[in-house]
């Protein structure tokens, strides 16, 4: 994984994007030594989104088990939807 100052990344942006897109390279951008962002292949982002969705679904399932939870179909029915 490459780590690059944000100011240098600005100068090399097209190359960084191409390396992510075509070589799967991840680049961490930093300012004053602190990591602030990353350029990653879109496949990495899609994986992160799928993982977040799984975590959210599991949290929702756990919440539905809690006492006093109301199912979405019951809420819609209550509003005549």
What is the model's pLDDT at position 74?
87
| pLDDT tens, N- to C-terminus, the chain (81 residues) | 999 999 999 999 999 999 999 999 999 999 999 999 999 999 999 999 999 999 999 998 898 888 887 888 888 999 999
Q: How far apart are CA 5 and CA 28, in angstroms?
A: 8
* pTM of full prediction above 0.75: no
What is the model's pLDDT at position 56?
97
Q: How far apart are CA 19 and CA 65, in angstroms?
A: 46
What is the model's pLDDT at position 29?
98
What is the model's pLDDT at position 71?
81
Strand partners, 4: 29
- The CATH code of the domain at 2-67 is 3.40.1620.10
Q: Is 17:3 a contact under the CB 8 Å cutoff? A: no
Q: Dihedral (C-alpha) 64, 67, 73, 75: value to the nearest 10 degrees?
A: -130
């Amino acid at each position: 994984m490459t780590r690059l100052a944000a100011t240098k990344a600005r100068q090399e942006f097209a190359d960084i994007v191409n390396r992510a897109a075509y070589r799967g390279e991840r680049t961490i951008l930093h300012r004053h030594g602190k990591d602030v962002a990353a350029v990653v292949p879109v496949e990495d982002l899609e994986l992160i989104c799928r993982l977040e969705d799984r975590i959210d679904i599991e949290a929702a399932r756990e919440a539905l088990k809690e006492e006093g939870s109301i199912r979405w179909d019951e809420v819609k029915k209550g509003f005549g939807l």
